[in-house]
């Protein structure tokens, strides 16, 4: 069975008839010019070693060279072979805070969009790792199960907003508890939860929940977004912007809790990263993932066609070499064979 990998190069074969027609025009033009100046006997005396046959032979070699070189580009694939492909990587679950405090704009454009950008850039740089997404506020919901479909992951990531969980507040422990059920292999050692939050936590036992997850082999990467100085929480309704207020009618200032995020990372032998600069945060996470042992998720055998382009290129180069070293003069030892109809 045969198939062609790069059929778009077949259009180059149009050069062959163009080359032949061009040479025919040149040959007969040259012949007519010589006839008008010299008769045949005088011409043979002036250029006795000139061979019209070799001109055509060189042109034939050149045409064959082009044909084989073009088919080398097309890459005919003949025969099959079995190839085993292994997928190795890390299970990475993003636990992203979608509470109202993530709308604060102390980090551009706001805390939630910054978190989504960091997660999105990380997904863009992954190769064979699996990813999942958890959204949480006062409670947590599984937003995307573990998958290698990065296109789906980017789509689900983009759909995150602060309205997807009706009850407000922030409970990191609920996100941690759901994350523990995301990993389908109890014995694997490369389970990672990337916590993206401003660190505000209105729930209980966030640290104990994280410690419990760490005992089950889960590594935490805490990425804090926002600033310790804090900012107001804008509430946009149409073209109007108001700011969240507490029960006393005072405007709420939400401050990122660097200490809490650092504690979750430190007490679970994880990593703490500041998310102010997207590139720096992504770079640090990628370095952490590269240093981890990779789990083999799956091993599949594929039947693929064997590339044969090298043989076509070799034959094409052989014809080019023959064309270069073949001269237009008659070969002395061939004269005795009278190949050129000499009298």
Contact (Cβ atoms closer than 8 angstroms) between residue 53 and residue 340: yes
Contact (Cβ atoms closer than 8 angstroms) between residue 156 and residue 144: yes
Domain range spanning residue 211? 86-299
Residue 334, pLDDT score? 46
199 and 130 together in one domain: yes
Looking only at the bridges linking them, the beta strands covering 253-254 and 271-274 are unpaired
Give the model confidence (pLDDT) of 33-73 as tens digits.
767 776 666 656 555 555 666 777 788 888 888 888 888 88
Number of structural domains in the chain: 2
CATH of the domain at 166: 3.40.50.410
Give the model confidence (pLDDT) of 154-185 as tens digits.
999 999 998 888 766 677 888 888 888 888 66
The Cα 33–Cα 212 span in angstroms is 96
327 and 179 together in one domain: no
| CA 301-306-308 angle, 5° bins | 165
Number of alpha carbons in the 13 Å side-chain half-sphere of residue 116: 20
Residue 297, pLDDT score? 56
Three-class SS state of 227: coil
In a domain? residue 331: yes
147 and 27 together in one domain: no
Q: Say whether pLDDT at 143 is over 90.
A: yes
In a domain? residue 270: yes
Distances (CA, A) of 15 to 11, 159, 164: 8, 52, 61
124 and 229 together in one domain: yes
Place of tokens 């094409």: 316
In a domain? residue 327: yes
149 and 291 together in one domain: yes
276 and 147 together in one domain: yes
188 and 250 together in one domain: yes
The Cα 110–Cα 247 span in angstroms is 24
Give the model confidence (pLDDT) of 235-249 as tens digits.
888 788 888 888 888
94 and 137 together in one domain: yes
In a domain? residue 133: yes
224 and 134 together in one domain: yes
In a domain? residue 245: yes
**Position 340 confidence tier, pLDDT thresholds 50, 70, 90:** very low
In a domain? residue 207: yes
172 and 104 together in one domain: yes
In a domain? residue 341: no
Contact (Cβ atoms closer than 8 angstroms) between residue 125 and residue 158: no
Three-class SS state of 195: strand
Q: What's the rounded mean pLDDT across residues 84-110?
A: 86
25 and 130 together in one domain: no
213 and 327 together in one domain: no
Arithmetic mean of pLDDT over the chain: 82
In a domain? residue 80: no
Residue 286, pLDDT score? 94
| Phi and psi at residue 60, to the nearest 5° | -65, -45
Q: Which residue has the higher pLDDT, 88 or 188?
A: 88
Residue 133, pLDDT score? 96
């Amino acid at each position: 069975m045969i198939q062609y990998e790069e059929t778009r190069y077949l259009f180059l074969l149009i050069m062959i008839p163009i080359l032949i027609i061009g040479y025919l025009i040149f040959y007969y033009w040259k012949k007519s010019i010589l006839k008008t100046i010299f008769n045949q006997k005088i011409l043979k005396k002036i250029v006795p070693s000139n061979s019209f046959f070799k001109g055509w032979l060189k042109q034939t070699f050149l045409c064959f060279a082009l044909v084989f070189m073009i088919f080398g580009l097309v890459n005919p694939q003949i025969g099959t072979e079995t190839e085993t492909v292994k997928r190795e990587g890390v299970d990475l679950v993003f636990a992203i805070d979608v509470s109202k405090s993530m709308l604060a704009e102390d980090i551009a454009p706001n805390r939630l969009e910054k978190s989504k950008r960091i997660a999105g850039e990380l997904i863009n740089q992954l190769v064979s790792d699996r990813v999942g997404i958890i959204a949480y506020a006062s409670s947590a919901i599984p937003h995307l199960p573990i998958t290698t479909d990065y296109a789906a992951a980017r789509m689900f990531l983009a759909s995150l907003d602060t309205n997807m969980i009706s009850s407000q507040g922030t409970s990191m422990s609920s996100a941690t508890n759901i994350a523990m059920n995301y990993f389908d292999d109890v014995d694997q050692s490369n389970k990672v939860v990337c916590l993206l939050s401003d660190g505000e936590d209105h729930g209980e036992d966030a640290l104990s929940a994280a410690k419990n997850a760490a005992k089950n082999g889960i590594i935490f990467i805490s990425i804090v977004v926002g600033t310790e100085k804090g900012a107001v929480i804008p509430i946009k309704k149409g073209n109007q912007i108001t700011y969240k207020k507490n029960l006393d009618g005072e405007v709420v200032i939400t401050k990122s809790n660097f200490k809490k995020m650092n504690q979750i990372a430190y007490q679970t032998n994880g990593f703490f990263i500041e998310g102010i600069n997207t590139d720096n945060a992504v770079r640090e996470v990628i370095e952490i993932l590269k240093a981890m042992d990779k789990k083999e998720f799956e091993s599949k055998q594929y039947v693929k066609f064997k590339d044969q382009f090298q043989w076509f290129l070799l034959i094409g180069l052989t014809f080019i070499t023959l064309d270069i070293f073949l001269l237009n003069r008659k070969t002395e030892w061939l004269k005795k064979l009278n190949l050129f109809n000499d009298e």
